[in-house]
Structure 1
């Protein structure tokens, strides 16, 4: 029933613990509630992911209260995986002017005090004194008003344009994003320059992320693994599609593993048409509908064959003469014939097959392995027969 059964057994026999690493996909959706003064002129914002080994910067986006970033990163999982996300504002001329406006103006130069000449005593001083020529004292300059910091964006920036950053420790969210999409947010920590000259640390908003952990899959080649968060999401959605029972009923089959007409209880499970034993309820045969190239109603084929100039009914071995019959066509002129008990059942089966043939989504190997892993983890632990009960019966 599983197209990868043989391949999965081979991969598991090749498993080497410790040789494979998990992947962590991180998508930075954007920033929410950025609480800083916005400049009147447009400027750009970037986000840089740094895991201590590599750093990658996103394309520029316009700075706003809720800027959209929508950039994805792929990381290799390890025990101490941490990374920072740093927001940086482009240093446009008007941003540089804001930074310069934070510098206090230089103090005015001190004016030298002019002292009045000393009085020459005696009669000479008496005759030479004149009220009109007395020197007046220079009034002191008005006091310089204290410098007030402008409330602009530059007050929240470092000299290199850094606005804020968030620190993410992967171990805190690993369990919540294990083989599933997890959306969360982290506070953006920045600072503001105060009048005293020192900075004040504060939260300036939050950065919104989507995360997905792909566990180690030993034996699976790197080119067979998903390359993006969207690949992960789509692959798990497809593998779930392949596990659903879409239709169930009874048909009589001729072809495939049936050399003569055989009545069977059949189920459409994902891309497979599975026959079950009526007594044991176990699967006895599987037809891979992914390999089918067409489904045809034999009634339509019979009508065309009986038309003038068409092939005769005998060319089809008499199969199309069976009432309420149809057939699945496979490459190499292979066919499997069926007929239903009633016209209504035939119509339902035809609808199902026509919806499936040629429209079956892929079922990637890595997604199948993860699905099996999830099924194993969901099973309750088996209790050993040798274990003793906590409370012995009296």
Structure 2
């Protein structure tokens, strides 16, 4: 097959021609204005060999010397049979005496005329061009661009013969007449159009490479758009979650304040009681202990920074049964009380007991998010053009 786009011509190696043949050849063309190209199928085959002409036979001088002349001729041909054409085409038949007849002139000739050359007809010559071309298609990008933009599509394109001729006889004179182009088969062509985001962008070298780039980008986008889930290889427990109303003293609250809290692993987020807007975040990564014993809560704190809220505040003293305290590694203390104390203490103790595992999970989560971001950053510009156009 020969591809010709008007500027360059590329020829593939020859392969056996069958009823269904595959070249498996990929071409790369730079798209310009009104890109068109031609695919031409060519064939080569052994040419038939013409049969040899019979040698001219010598003539005897007269009937009187018939025997001797025939003998000489026979001997001469025997000598000749050892060389020349007989070596290629085999032994020739000896000439019999009765095949020679006298003529009035006194000379004799062979009774059989020399044989005409036997030429075997090459049927392919009437079906092909001189260079062996026998089929051709014309492809214009404008006809396929919408279907192959950023994706590969296969098309069945009729293959036409443009070189066949007919032999006709006019007044005894043979003449060759060219046939109208006619379909001789179908060419299966796979095409893909890859847009270029910039003149300096390096595009994929094959359809397979382009499709792999697209699949990878699609998976990365889908993964980054969904919540990241970490698979626990060691059979770790599910995420620790709890929500509800609590009264808080400490942290960002200098006085007791009722808030709506949401616990998500090592993060305790405080929201406004009325508007539910986020107000503060308590990081439990450095929490070391949960104190829930009433006697301990109402005792004045030995911490010089602040005394126990349950001991100093009369109203809070009344809710000591529903209260608990979180102590942190840096000495900070935050006190809470609420109706569902048991649930909060249970979950917070679980956070402290498993925070190392939770921290490891959080690290994995960050690494996975970062990996997704890196993969998105590696997305090739032409891939972005294709995917954004389909969005």
- TM exceeding 0.5: no
- Give the TM-score, by structure 2 length: 0.44
Normalized per residue, the structure richer in helix is 2
Bigger relative CO (Cα 8 Å, ≥ 6 apart): 1
- Give the TM-score, by structure 1 length: 0.44
